[in-house]
Amino acid sequence: MFEAAELDHKVDKAAYREEEAELRRALLQAQRDLGAQKRFPVLILIAGVEGAGKGETVHLLNEWMDPRFIEVTGFGLPTEEEQAHPPMWRFWRALPPKGRIGVFFGAWQTMPILERVLGHLGKGGFAARMEEIMRLERMLAQEGVLLIKYWFHLSKAQQKKRIRSLEKDKGTSWKVTNYDRKLLEHYDDFIEVCEPFLRETSTGEAPWTIVPAADERYRALFVGRHLLSTLRGRLDAKPEPKRAAPAAPPAPPDRVNVLRALTLKQEMSRDAYDKALAEAQGRLARATRHKRYGETSLIAVFEGNDAAGKGGAIRRLGAALDPRAYRIVPVAAPTEEERAQPYLWRFWRHMPRPGRVTVFDRSWYGRVLVERVEGFAPEPDWRRAYAEINDFEEQLVAHGAVVAKFWLAISKEEQHRRFKEREATAFKQHKITEEDWRNREKWDAYEAAVCEMVERTSTGIAPWTLVEADNKLHARVKVIATLADMLEERLRG
């Protein structure tokens, strides 16, 4: 794997100077086209052996291209803020938008490799982390990110030679730290971990490119040429034609489904409601003030038919919480900034720290609901979203969060009654639009989408709760009581 990188590559000064000028011009042009097209973001991962000129290469890229549109992020040990979130959170935050180049210095591979070299991570744990990385990278690739992964390599002899030559020169000997010497000692252990890592994570969508790093000029031209050709390849490619929509899924053999199986009209008197709501709110309040709640967090997702009463339920939930500790995220059509990012980016931004509560009024499930039904997302995209969402929620749960998902279901008749009521009531008129009536016409398509969503994403770690919501009182109590149940169980566990 490293055979080619360890050869004695050389580029002389004259050849370098001659090529560099043209390379810079072409790279700058590619960067301008990227910014003008705004079709995809570019993410460059910089990794590899210590002292192999990774930093110098990033400097060079900034020098060659317009640094205002290159965002370099260096990831060291996670900060307190970063530790308060799932491991992938800090990378999501730093993703470049469409039209821009992001450079990640020490990205998601650094910690697993380091932990494995130091023996803090076993073979199975390491395999699981590689798998996480591959899933993330595949998803980024499918979302259109041009992912370019450079691995800077030096052989042990080249590494040693570099340290010796730095030491010899008084002007540079300060650059050699004990850390460098220690790394040299562990060179073989490091390579033993990196080799299978590179092998496993070099996928068709996102292979590693090994950069022979011993000769400075060779290294620079190697990366420059590779980057240029990869950028140009994608910039000049014609956008892929839209695939024909596949056949509609078969109708099920009977009319029974999880929504129709619900008894939407549940009895609840105002008195019973007042009592039950107060009790559930009390339980929830106690749970979120519990000393062990600091180790967990609550992510509550609300989806439901239009006019199903999400807002009312969320208000009753908020009433039970410390206003400093919770946040409501209303999810509407994505902003321009959000559209320039992979789909899940806008949700990652809002993930709570431990000890907090985040309430999503509509959520990432829009991908498999409105985007599916309205045709905003092509079928292959919403199809893979189920697995991506399960992955996403798995990361949240693995980090300690309780993920509670509610579908508020009302009957078609009850919806009609509420729409009419909204139209007739002055202070409710803003809540009803033409679009609501149009959505209503697609009732059956939405119903099929909800059923598939529940089947594919109601998991042991993050189950859906279907809430019968023709009676708002019942719905609110069920939501708050379910949240209290889930939190109490977590605090016990």
Binding to a copy of itself (CB under 8 A) within 248-307 occurs at: 248-254, 256-258, 261
SS (H, E, C) 383-397: HHHHHHHHHHHHHHH
> Closest distance between a copy of itself and the C-beta of residue 211, in Å?
11
Name which of 63 and 434 has its Cβ closer to a copy of itself: 63
| 208, containing H or E segment | strand 208-212
Nearer to a copy of itself, 307 or 448 (CB): 448
Are the C-beta atoms of residues 242 and 378 closer than 8 Å to each other? yes
Q: Which of 173, 229, 425, 429 binds a copy of itself (CB under 8 A)?
A: 229
Q: How far apart are CA 74 and CA 104, in angstroms?
A: 6
Q: Which one of 222, 364, 419, 446 is in contact with a copy of itself (CB under 8 A)? A: 222
Q: For 263-353, where are the E strands, in sequence order? A: 297-304, 326-330
Nearer to a copy of itself, 257 or 411 (CB): 257
Residue/partner pairs of 276-280 with CB below 8 Å, 24 or more apart = 276/477, 276/481, 277/316, 277/473, 277/476, 277/477, 277/480, 280/320, 280/477, 280/480, 280/481, 280/484
**Ranges within 127-156 binding a copy of itself (CB under 8 A):** 127-128, 131
Give the shortest CB-243-to-a copy of itself separation in angstroms.
8
Q: Which is nearer to a copy of itself, 235 or 287 (CB)?
A: 235
Among 106, 196, 312, 354, binds a copy of itself (CB under 8 A): 196
How far is it, in rounded angstroms, from Cα 213 to Cα 469? 64
C-alpha–C-alpha distance, residues 246 and 175, integer Å: 60
Shortest distance, position 195 Cβ to a copy of itself, whole Å? 5
Contact with a copy of itself (CB under 8 A) among 1, 176, 325, 328? 1
Instruction: Quote the least distance from Cβ 68 to a copy of itself, whole Å.
Output: 26
Q: Where in 435-474 is the site for a copy of itself (CB under 8 A)?
A: 451, 454-456, 458-461, 464, 466
CA atoms within 13 A on the CB side of 374: 11
Q: Is 210 in the site for a copy of itself (CB under 8 A)?
A: yes
Nearest-angstrom CA–CA distance, 352 and 294: 12
Residues 67-106 that bind a copy of itself (CB under 8 A): none
Judged by CB under 8 A, which of 13, 168, 243, 324 binds a copy of itself?
A: 243
Give 51's contacts (C-beta < 8 A, 6+ positions apart): 154, 159, 162, 163, 180, 183
- Name the minimum Å distance from CB 342 to a copy of itself: 15
Give the binding-site size for a copy of itself (rule: CB under 8 A): 75
Selected binder of a copy of itself within 123, 168, 170, 291 (CB under 8 A)? 123
Q: DSSP 3-state assignment of 3?
A: coil
**CA distances (Å), 462 to each of 398, 402, 454, in order?**
11, 8, 11
Tokens of 479: 């939501």
Q: How would you class 355 by CB atoms within 10 Å of its CB: exposed for 0-12, middle for 13-18, buried for 19 or more? A: middle
The answer for residues whose C-beta is within 8 angstroms of residue 276's C-beta and 6 or more apart is 268, 477, 481
Q: Least CB distance from residue 464 to a copy of itself, whole Å?
A: 8
Taking residues 369 to 408 in sequence order and writing x for each that binds a copy of itself by CB under 8 A, - otherwise, the string is -----------x--xxxxx--x------------------
Both tokens of residue 54? 């990774």
Candidates 101-109, 204-212, 438-446, 472-480; binding stretch for a copy of itself (CB under 8 A): 204-212
In degrees and rounded to multiples of 5, residue 423 shows phi and psi of -65, -30
**Does residue number 489 form part of the binding site for a copy of itself (CB under 8 A)?**
no
Nearer to a copy of itself, 127 or 481 (CB): 127
With CB under 8 A as the contact rule, the residue among 64, 150, 197, 218 that binds a copy of itself is 218
The answer to whether residue 24 forms part of the interface with a copy of itself (CB under 8 A) is no
Name residue, tokens 């598939």.
452
DSSP assigned state of 491 = H
CA distance 41 to 46: 16
Contact flags string 329-368 toward a copy of itself, x per CB under 8 A: ----------------------------------------
- The residue among 196 and 355 lying less far from a copy of itself, judged by its C-beta, is 196
Does 182 bind a copy of itself (CB under 8 A)? Our answer is: no
Q: Check binding of 10 to a copy of itself (CB under 8 A).
A: yes
Strand-pair partners of 71: 102
Measured from the CB atom, is 229 or 335 closer to a copy of itself? 229
